[in-house]
Amino acid sequence: MDFRRAWLGALAPLAMLACKSDAASTPPPPDAVTFPAGFLFGTATAGFQIEKADTHTDWADWVALSPSRIKNGDTPDDGGPDALAHVDDDIALMTQMGQNAYRFSIEWGRIFPTQASFDSNTPDAAALAAYDSEIQKLQNAHITPLVTLFHWALPNWLSDVSHPNDPQGWERPETSADFTTFCSRMAQHFGGEVDWWVTLNEPLVYVTTGYIQGGSPPGVVLDATRAFDVARALARAHASCFDAIHQADTVDADGDGKAAWVSVAKHQRTFHPEDPTDQDDIDATKHVHYLWNQWFLNATIRGDWDDDIDGNYTGPNDKQGDPTLKGRMDYIGVNYYSDTLISAHRGVVIPVVNAAVIQDHLPTDRPKTDVAWDIYPEGLRSMLEEDVAPYSLPVVITENGIADRADVNRARFLAEHLYQLGWAMKDGLDVRGYFHWSLMDNFEWQNGFCPKFGFASVDPATGARTLRASGSEYEKIISSKVVKRADIDAMPAFVTTDFCP
């Protein structure tokens, strides 16, 4: 999960904010939307958030060295899902809901816990066997695996959180080269069973939390120069990993005629000016919208490399149609959660970006989640139409979910977002799957265990899973492959619940 609160804190409340729907000028909503046979209905997780003893990672070191940065002093090994020890339980949950797909990560630092093991290509035998067993069990249950190769936790031999002022992780040139090798090895080993791949989870969120907000490794605050250097490195690392997977994975595991479907899980949001009458806020919103939703995709799909990230291609290092980047997406993986406000004047303005970004506690009349994000389902469709459809590639919703520990909003949240997705499909968007975040409650990075995104709760003492009532709504939709507007309207209205402390 890509959880983070505001990038840079809340701004002063607005006297008024226009909240007109992005979709106000569209035709009337359909009475129902349908999903085709073979559509991937699944849930998503990440290794460090659900596995225990993922100790050879920068995130493990971060938790150990900076416990005050994790809410309530939580650690993933203390009350977490311990997923590798509960594979059968988790597959039973998926089966109970009728899921036919599951997104999870293979942890680089678990497979290669030391630099020496990586250099000698001597993977940890127990780790490799655990993932082999999990994938085989998924296949036996007729659940399609979608594997993420980097979901924010780097091997600690590439990222030293005790020295944040030195180049770490993706700032080091060897990291991208080693990642390409890791991609090749994983595709060669697992390619016979895996066709669907995500190279990087939310590359720009990774950049902002690590180098702007400072809430994750390496813990740097407001260093736009380092942040943009890492963003550039990640775009090129994806392209190299894309090539490596296609070269190594030549087995069509599911018989759809394609051996490997490769993308990123790209976090996309809607953006609005804090003051819709202020031209500076309007201009800042356009700029942030481009940086967040379009820059990475322009580079890795069209090969349009905006090196100075200024919105045009006139810089000395800019290039359009770069053959080393162009065409490096087989589909577009989309993570969508909520809306965002942009201010050019108030709050902490990010250097170079020249804007402040607000993601939580928005001064709107929309209901809020437990982490104070707006519940904004119609934003999914408007974002897909504006920022994804123009690339003319298949789409997979790789994450969409809600922090809702009382489970009072999740069923309607799920139905509303699938309705908006189905509406986009009805209008011609080629969507192949939807993965809800998350299968079970997990360690939500610096926010610990308070945000509950799971269809299932987890007993911290025993690890026992209990499916929440909202899971039955997913089962119903998967079984019927239909979402009716009337059924949604009959559900309880969204309510704002107590926020996570």
Tens of pLDDT, residues 366-414: 999 999 999 999 999 999 999 999 999 999 999 999 999 999 999 999 9
Which element (helix H / strand E) includes 267?
A: strand 261-273
Residue 111 CB coordination number (10 Å): 21
Angle at alpha carbon of residue 384, lines to 259 and 350, rounded to 5°: 105
Dist CA 450 CA 69 (whole Å): 14
The model's confidence at residue 293, banded by pLDDT at 50, 70 and 90, is: very high
The number of angstroms, rounded, from the C-alpha of 492 to the middle of its chain's C-alpha atoms is 28
Coil vs helix vs strand at 143: coil
With contact defined as beta carbons under 8 Å apart, do 470 and 407 qualify?
yes
β-strands 431-437, 395-399 pairing: parallel
Task: Encode burial over 189-203: b for 16+ CB neighbours within 10 A, e otherwise.
Answer: bbbebbbbbbbbbbb
What integer pLDDT is reported at residue 8 of this predicted model?
A: 32
Query: What CATH number does the domain located at 38-489 have?
Result: 3.20.20.80
Dist CA 57 CA 474 (whole Å): 34
Q: What is the pLDDT of residues 441-472, one digit of tens each?
A: 999 999 999 999 999 999 999 999 999 999 99
In 3-state terms the chain splits into helix, strand, coil percentages (rounded to 5) of 35, 15, 45
The pTM score is: 0.95
User: Which among 156, 174, 171 has a CA at the least distance from the CA of 230?
Assistant: 171
Helix and strand numbers (H, E) in the chain are 15, 13
pLDDT > 90 fraction of the chain, expressed in percent and rounded: 92
The model's confidence at residue 4, banded by pLDDT at 50, 70 and 90, is: very low
Model confidence at 9: pLDDT above 80 = no
The model's confidence at residue 492, banded by pLDDT at 50, 70 and 90, is: very high
Dist CA 385 CA 381 (whole Å): 6
The model's confidence at residue 346, banded by pLDDT at 50, 70 and 90, is: confident
With contact defined as beta carbons under 8 Å apart, do 292 and 312 qualify?
no
Q: What is the pLDDT of residues 294-313, one digit of tens each?
A: 999 999 999 999 999 999 99
What integer pLDDT is reported at residue 501 of this predicted model?
A: 86
pLDDT > 70 fraction of the chain, expressed in percent and rounded: 95
Dist CA 443 CA 453 (whole Å): 10
The model's confidence at residue 66, banded by pLDDT at 50, 70 and 90, is: confident
User: Which among 293, 295, 278, 291 has a CA at the least distance from the CA of 343?
Assistant: 278
Which pair of structure tokens corresponds to residue 220? 């740097």
Which pair of structure tokens corresponds to residue 74? 């939580």
With contact defined as beta carbons under 8 Å apart, do 431 and 367 qualify?
no
Q: What's the whole-number mean pLDDT along residues 176-196?
A: 98
